[in-house]
């Protein structure tokens, strides 16, 4: 019996190891390739131990690719989008969670279907409107485009987080003489702050990771890093070293952010369906 249990556990860990290799091998290969020389990168099978070089990164940052500008654009657009959507989303989410509006169901449905709309179908009409408003190629245009999915996301998530905060809390504060808005800022927002942080991180991630919107709405001045990836690939001959380094720069901050709010990640990615 003891032996059987032991062998079952061994099998479970072996399977787990297999899953981990499947999930992580790509990320590790990218990381290692970005630190290899062009020659080492293409050795088969890939070497696990090698003398790391930062040549690809040096070329990426200081070469002719103008990478720092891509990085700056990406940072600016995703941070500004997150601030705008979070501000509106926190206020609106509270309104929707507590308002008891008669049309609450319809509003929720509208919000979620906006978030779930296929990106190509959103890009097309926005492109036509933005070109009339001269917003193509501007940072404002891209921020507005990202708002189409991040605002409904923030609204929806904040509604579910605020519904978890008992209404007695703010009612008690109001009985103690707190104004209604003050009760919201001083009592409800701090209570829901883990949810707010998690929502912010996900908004940041959705904007940072986007490629398709950026490929249509940006020009040479406003391109973001995902565009840098596609430029490295589509030009004649792929610069794999720089492409791997760029990929690493794109995913590293998101891995760190994601792990920081790990507890709320699944809830966010499942639109609040998993508490």
Partner 1 sequence: MEQAAIRPLKRRAKWNRTEFWMLLPSVIVLAAITIFPFFFMIYASFMDYRLDMDHPRFAGLENWQNTLTDETFWQSWGRTVVYAGGGLILQLLLGTGIALLLYHIPKFRNLFSTLVMLPVFVAPIVTGLLWRFLLDPTYGFYHWIVRQLGFDVQILGDPNFAMLAVIFMDVWEWTPLVTLIVLAGLQTVPEEPLEAADVDGANAWQKIFLVMLPMIRRMIVVALLIRSMDILRYVDTIVITTEGGPADATKTIGYYLMQVAFRFQDIGSAAAVGLTMLVVSTLMGRFFIKVLKAEEA
Q: How far is the CB of 65 from partner 1 (least distance, A)?
A: 15
49 belongs to the binding site for partner 1 (CB under 8 A): no
Cα–Cα distance, 222 to 137 (Å, whole number): 6
Binding to partner 1 (CB under 8 A) within 54-73 occurs at none
User: Cβ distance 225 to 211 under 8 Å?
Assistant: no
**Count of positions on this chain that bind partner 1 (CB under 8 A):** 96
**Residue whose CB is less far from partner 1, 220 or 237:** 237
Which of 53-61, 63-71, 84-92, 187-195 is the region at the interface with partner 1 (rule: CB under 8 A)? 84-92
Window contacting partner 1 (CB under 8 A); options: 54-62, 64-72, 110-118, 187-195: 110-118
| Shortest spacing between CB 239 and partner 1, in angstroms | 11
CA distance 41 to 56: 11
* Least distance in angstroms from the C-beta of 69 to partner 1: 18
Which of 50, 79, 80, 127 binds partner 1 (CB under 8 A)? It is 127
- Shortest distance in whole angstroms from residue 184 CB to partner 1: 8
Q: Which of 95, 137, 138, 189 binds partner 1 (CB under 8 A)?
A: 95
CB-wise, 13 or 62, nearer to partner 1? 13
């Amino acid at each position: 019996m003891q032996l059987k249990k032991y062998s079952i556990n061994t099998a479970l860990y072996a399977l787990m190891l297999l899953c981990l290799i499947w999930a992580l091998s790509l990320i590790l290969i990218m990381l290692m390739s970005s630190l290899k020389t062009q020659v080492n990168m293409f050795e088969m099978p890939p070497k696990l131990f090698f003398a790391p070089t930062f040549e690809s990164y040096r070329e990426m940052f200081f070469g002719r690719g103008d990478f720092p500008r891509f990085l700056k654009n990406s940072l600016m657009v995703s941070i500004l989008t997150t601030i705008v959507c979070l501000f509106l989303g926190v206020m609106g989410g509270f309104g929707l969670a507590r308002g008891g509006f008669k049309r609450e169901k319809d509003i929720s449905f509208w919000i979620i279907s906006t978030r779930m709309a296929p990106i190509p179908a959103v890009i097309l009409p926005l492109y036509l409107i933005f070109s009339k408003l001269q917003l193509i190629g501007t940072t404002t245009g891209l921020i507005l485009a990202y708002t189409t999915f991040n605002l409904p996301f923030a609204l929806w998530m904040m509604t579910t987080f605020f519904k978890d905060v008992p209404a007695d809390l703010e009612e008690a504060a109001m009985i103690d003489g707190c104004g209604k808005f003050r009760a919201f800022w001083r009592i409800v927002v701090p209570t829901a702050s883990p949810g707010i942080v998690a929502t912010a991180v996900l908004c940041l991630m959705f904007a940072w990771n986007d490629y398709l919107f950026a490929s249509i709405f940006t020009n040479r001045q406003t391109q973001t890093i995902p565009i840098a990836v596609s430029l490295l690939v589509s030009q004649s001959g792929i610069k794999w070293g720089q492409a791997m380094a760029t990929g690493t720069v794109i995913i590293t901050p998101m891995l760190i952010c994601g792990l920081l709010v790990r507890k709320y990640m699944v809830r966010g990615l499942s639109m609040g369906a998993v508490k």
